Amino acid sequence: MRTPDDTILRTVTKISVFIIFTFAINLFFSGHHQPGGGFIGGLTFSAALVLMYLSFDIETVRKYLPIDFKVLAAIGVFIAVSTGIAGILFGKPFLTQAFGYVELPVFGDTELASAVLFDVGVALAVIGTAVTIITSISEDR
């Protein structure tokens, strides 16, 4: 089998993956008030993972990133549902969200919202699902 020389691709990937990760996290946090959020942040994050799968091979990435993405998706949905259940525990309807302003040492006056936790769940579910779909398509012969 022909082994193509993909040094350029790999070098670019090593750098750009971190840029994409940073951008994904930025998208995720800006989602609370501006366009963005858990879904699109998670998709961007999984784009970086897919780029890694493409430029290296699946086995290598699995060796350094031993995560079962199906389980990750389940954990994501679990976190999202749990934040909904927190509402029930406080005697409010399911999925009621709360927020407040807290004085933090570095960031100053910061808005903390329980909706962010919900979004973490969404992001994990999206990453898990997207990567599972793509790896299972690539494994198909």
Partner 1 sequence: MNNLTVLPIILPLIAGLIMVIFRKRIHFQRILSIGTVAAVGGTALYLLEQIEKEGVQVLQIGDWPAPFGISLVADSFSSLLVLTTSIVSLAVLLYSFHSIGEGREKHYYYPLFMFLLTGVNGSFLTGDIFNLFVHFEVMLVSSYVLLSLGGEKLQLRESLKYILVNVVSSSLFLVGIAYLYRMVGTLNMAHLSVRVQEAGMDGLMLTVAFALLIVFALKAALFLFIWLPGSYSAAPTAIAALFAALLTKVGIYAIMRTFSLIFYGEPQITHLVIGIMAALTMLLGAFGAVAYWDIKKILVYNVIVGVGLILAGFASFTEAGMTGSIYYLIHDMIVKALIFLIGGTVVYLTGTSKIREISGLIRLHPQLGWMFFIAALSLAGIPPLSGFVGKLFITEGTFSSGYYWLGGIGLFTSLMVLYSVLKIFMNCFWGYTELTEEEEKGTTKGLLLPIGILTGLTIALGLGAEGIYSYVEMAARGMLNPDIYIHAVLGNDVLP
Residue 117 near partner 1 by CB under 8 A: no
The SS3 assignment for 102 reads strand
Give min distance, CB of 69 to partner 1, in A. 11
By the rule CB under 8 A, 95 interacts with partner 1: yes
113 lies in the site for partner 1, by CB under 8 A? no
Single out the residue of 93, 100, 105, 108 in contact with partner 1 (rule: CB under 8 A): 93
Please, are residues 125 and 71 in contact by the beta-carbon 8 Å criterion? Answer: no
Q: Is 85 in the site for partner 1 (CB under 8 A)?
A: yes
77 contributes a contact to partner 1 by CB under 8 A: yes
Residue type, 76: G
DSSP state at residue 113: E
CA angle 30, 36, 41 (to 5 degrees): 100
Task: Specify the residue, 9 or 115, whose C-beta has the smaller distance to partner 1.
Answer: 115
User: How far apart are the C-alpha atoms of 40 and 24, rounded to whole Å?
Assistant: 8
Counting residues that bind partner 1 (by CB under 8 A) gives: 18
Separation CA 75–CA 38 (nearest Å)? 14
Q: What is the DSSP secondary structure assignment for residue 110, as one 8-state letter?
A: E
In the complex, minimum distance from the CB of residue 13 to partner 1, in angstroms, rounded to a whole number:
30
Q: What is the dihedral of CA 50, 52, 38, 19, to 10 degrees?
A: -130
Tell me which stretch binds partner 1 (CB under 8 A): 8-16, 32-40, 54-62, 67-75. 67-75
Residue 67 as a binder of partner 1 (CB under 8 A): the answer is no
Binding site for partner 1 (CB under 8 A): 70-71, 73-75, 77-78, 81, 84-85, 87-88, 92-97
